[in-house]
Structure formats: structure tokens, C-alpha cells
Amino acid sequence: MVNDPIHQFRIHNILGPWNILGYDIGFTNSNLFMGFIVLLTVGFLLLTTTKRALVPGRLQSVGEMWYSLVHNMVENVLGHEGAAFFPLVFSLFSFVLVANMLGMFPYFFTVTSHVIVTASMALFVVGLVVVVGIMKHGLGWFKLFVPSGVPLAILPFISLIEIISFLSRPISLGLRLFGNMLAGHIVLKVFAGFVVSLVALGLGGIIGSLAPLLMAVALTALEFLVAFLQAFVFAILTCVYLNDALHTHH
């Protein structure tokens, strides 16, 4: 059963089931890890800044790098007007990063391997873009879908493409993260499963298991990279999309 690569994504109630409006909102293992993410992120960042040293030590440097990475990203993409969105982008980045990194521990649950989590965050971001865009530019914000300087004959066609590309943003944003985390964890589990199955076959199997073992080690390294990269991509795409809400320079 434990060899089943899908088992790691299974959700079960820890507390509950509690029913609200006919929906079960019992506290599950996934929710427990969401709590861990909050605890770890806030706890770690507070721990790194306890000394408030003028010359940062190792821990404080990590906290400051974490901060500067997102701060520079928001500054570069959104400019000074984007400062209001910095806490949000930082929260999204930290949530995804810590979720992905926690998922790298064996027997831990990967919150971001569930499409409902990633899709909700992506829809929230794109919804925020629409709300902020209309609040800032009024209905003129919809000019985003009507690029200037395009001949009238092909304008409807271009607008259609613009609208489709805008609507596909939450899908690409949410599914990219979900797909990466899901596939990575399945592949890791499959290769690790090979090792266990082959070793059970005896001496020949032990020698043969070296290949999937090396593969699993290499994939683990790759998955750490992917875990960081996907968090980074999620954050920077959030910035790029929010940029459309702030500046309609199409």
C-alpha cells in the first residue's frame, strides 16, 4: 500500500467531519500542513530577526535574502505603486515555497499538489487584477483587450485572442504549480518504489536497484530546484499580471 505513488496525495479527516451548509469542512491532513506552513514561515522569519543585528548573521541573512528577493521582484516589475501589493506577493511566494519544501520531506503532505489549492490562489490573483484594474482605471481598464494601433478589420480577432489569453492566465498559473508538484512527487515515489521492489528480488535485484536509486537521488535534487522555481514563477507571474492592473500600456 505504501508503495502506491498516489497514496501520498490522499486526504483524510483528522478532526471532523464538520458540516457547514451541507459541506464537510473537517480538519484534514492537508489543512494541518497549511497550518505548519503559516507557523514555519512566520516562526522562521521572526527567529531570524530576533537579534535585529546591524551586521546580519547567517540566519538573519537568509531572512533578509528572502525579503529582498520578493521586494526587488515587486519593485522591478510593479515599480513604486506596487508597494501595496508587496505583502500579498510575499505571502503567496512564502506559502508556495514553504508548501513545496515541506512536501520534499518523506511522509509529509504537499499542499500544492492539490489543484483546488493552486487554482484558488491563481483565481484569486487574476480576480484581484480585474478588481484593482477597474478600481484604478474604471471601465477604461477593458481597453487592455483592445490594443491601440491595430487595424479595425482584425481588431475583433485580436481582442478575442487577448481575452482568451487573459482567461487562460489562472489556468496556466494554477495548473503549472499543481502539475509540477504532482508529477514530481509521483515520479520520485515511482523510482523509490522500483528500488524497494528490486531489492526484494535478491542479489541481482540489489545491483539492478542502483540505477533507480541514483535516479531518485538526482530527482530529489531536481525537485528541490523545482520547488523553489515554481514558487518564484508563481510570485513573478503574479507581479506581471498585477502590472496589467496598475499600468494599462497596451
When asked if residue 241 is in the footprint of another protein (CB under 8 A), the reply is no
Q: How many CB atoms lie within 10 A of CB 90?
A: 20
From residue 62 to residue 81, the character string flagging contacts with another protein as x (rule: CB under 8 A) and all else as - is: -xx--xx-------------
* Cell numbers placing 217: 537521488
Q: Which stretch binds another protein (CB under 8 A): 17-25, 139-147, 156-164, 223-231?
A: 17-25
From residue 101 to residue 120, the character string flagging contacts with another protein as x (rule: CB under 8 A) and all else as - is: ------------xxxxx--x
* Cell numbers placing 138: 474604471
Q: What radius of gyration, in Å, describes the C-alpha atoms of the chain?
A: 22
Category of 13 on φ-ψ map: left (φ > 0), alpha (ψ -120 to 50) or beta = beta
**Measured distance CA(108)–CA(117) in Å, rounded:** 17
**Cβ-Cβ contacts under 8 Å for 168 (sequence gap 6 or more):** none
Q: Which stretch binds another protein (CB under 8 A): 23-31, 74-82, 141-149, 193-201?
A: 23-31
* Cell numbers placing 185: 512527487
Q: How long a stretch of residues is the chain?
A: 250
When asked if residue 183 is in the footprint of another protein (CB under 8 A), the reply is no
Strand 23-24 versus strand 19-20 pairing type: antiparallel
Considering the complex, what minimum distance in angstroms separates the CB of residue 55 from another protein?
A: 8
Q: Pick from 38, 130, 187, 233: which binds another protein (CB under 8 A)?
A: 38
Cell 492539490 maps to which residue? 114
When asked if residue 129 is in the footprint of another protein (CB under 8 A), the reply is no
Instruction: Classify residue 106 by its DSSP letter.
Output: T
Query: Cα–chain-centroid distance for residue 67?
Result: 17
107: three-class secondary structure by DSSP: coil
Considering the complex, what minimum distance in angstroms separates the CB of residue 88 from another protein?
A: 7
When asked if residue 1 is in the footprint of another protein (CB under 8 A), the reply is yes
Considering the complex, what minimum distance in angstroms separates the CB of residue 7 from another protein?
A: 7
Q: Pick from 97, 121, 192, 226: which binds another protein (CB under 8 A)?
A: 121
By CB under 8 A, name the binding residues for another protein.
1, 4, 6-7, 9-13, 16, 20, 23-28, 30-31, 34-35, 37-38, 41-42, 45-46, 49, 52-54, 56, 60, 63-64, 67-68, 86-88, 90-91, 94-95, 113-117, 120-121, 178, 182
